[in-house]
Amino acid sequence: MQVIRSIESVRRAVSNAQSAGGRVGFVPTMGALHEGHRSLIRRCRRENDLVVLSIFVNPAQFGPAEDFARYPREQKKDKKLAKEEKVDIIFCPSIKTMYPKGYLTYIDAGKLAESLCGRFRQGHFRGVATVVGKLLNIVAPDVLYLGQKDAQQAVVIRRMIRDLNLPVAVEVCPTVRDSDGLALSSRNRYLSQAQRTEAAVIYRALKEARARGRQGERDAHALVRRIRSKILSESSGTVEYAACVHADTLAPLKKIEGRILIAAAVRFGRTRLIDNIIFSVKV
């Protein structure tokens, strides 16, 4: 396994593999790797000849009051996990490499960036789209692997790839959860023991909403109200948003039909957790 910090070196390694007929898969992350990341890497390993994992805590996607400074950085542990999963290349550029002095150009994801998490994290998806756009230009993989855990991010990136004609396929992998249902996240470690136990209510509330939708509830507002009240009554979390939108366009829904994304962001103290479920209801 190679650890590469420079743009030229990663470009060379990828283009050598592709010239030899190899297929290159890419998993971008911010490190502090857990079983969710591992599942993306495993799938990428199964489906490609060369596996590139990037680890870059992207300052452009954090707001001024967010956790950029305290975001966990665990190079040694991350390297160990990457090695176990037979990653070929870890690309870990410095901030200066990605955003040299005088850096100016950003990718704006338009209205997809304004709803759900975008309403509460100004500039977040602009930062995400920019860094993923840059990483795709640098690494130039054949396939990009993303997690369903960050559903809006996957929608934004798919659209960016389509709109900018980037020659890469996208695979979105299922959310990996702890045994009580809480979606794995690098941020779960910020939770106290009590908060960690309570946080499982997020997935319970989403699952209950899905069950109601499948059983015939058609009123999206009623589903959202129920998610909110369940989380509030069964935990000390505060609900930043709960929403029911179209899974591909993120358009708000009044009626439950088609491919539905139900998503929520919940705060436990200073820690913000997100989760979602996608399901289909026949029209």
CB nearer to ligand AMP: pick between 139 and 220: 139
* Maximum pairwise Cα distance, the chain: 58
Q: What is the DSSP letter of 72?
A: -
* Contact with ligand AMP (CB under 6 A) among 54, 130, 175, 276: 175
**272: closest CA among 181, 169, 183?**
183
Tell me: does residue 272 bind ligand AMP (CB under 6 A).
no
Catalytic choice (37, 124, 221, 246): 37
- The answer to whether 89 and 2 have CB atoms below 8 angstroms apart is yes
Q: Under rule CB under 6 A, how many of the chain's residues touch ligand AMP?
A: 17
- The answer to whether 210 and 226 have CB atoms below 8 angstroms apart is no
CB nearer to ligand AMP: pick between 115 and 175: 175
Helical (H) or strand (E) element with 38: helix 35-47
Tell me: does residue 273 bind ligand AMP (CB under 6 A).
no
CB nearer to ligand AMP: pick between 147 and 213: 147
Tell me: does residue 121 bind ligand AMP (CB under 6 A).
no
- From residue 216 to residue 245, what is the string marking binding to ligand AMP with x (rule CB under 6 A)? ------------------------------
> CA 195 from chain center: how many Å?
22
Q: What is the DSSP letter of 219?
A: B
* Contact with ligand AMP (CB under 6 A) among 7, 166, 176, 278: 176
Helix, strand, or coil here: 74?
coil
Nearest distance from C-beta of residue 96 to ligand AMP, angstroms: 20
37 among known catalytic residues: yes
Tell me: does residue 17 bind ligand AMP (CB under 6 A).
no
List 259's β-bridge partners, or say none.
Answer: 280
Tell me: does residue 30 bind ligand AMP (CB under 6 A).
yes
Q: What is the DSSP string of 231-282?
A: HHHHSS-EEEEEEEEETTT--B-SB--EEEEEEEEEEETTEEEEEEEEEEE-
Nearest distance from C-beta of residue 221 to ligand AMP, angstroms: 28
Interatomic CA distance for residues 275 and 211, integer angstroms: 16
> CA 230 from chain center: how many Å?
25
Nearest distance from C-beta of residue 196 to ligand AMP, angstroms: 15
Nearest distance from C-beta of residue 202 to ligand AMP, angstroms: 12
Residue type, 85: E
Tell me: does residue 281 bind ligand AMP (CB under 6 A).
no
Tell me: does residue 136 bind ligand AMP (CB under 6 A).
no
Supply the residues annotated as catalytic. 37
Q: Which residues bind ligand AMP (CB under 6 A)?
A: 29-30, 36-37, 39-40, 146-147, 149-150, 173, 175-176, 183-186
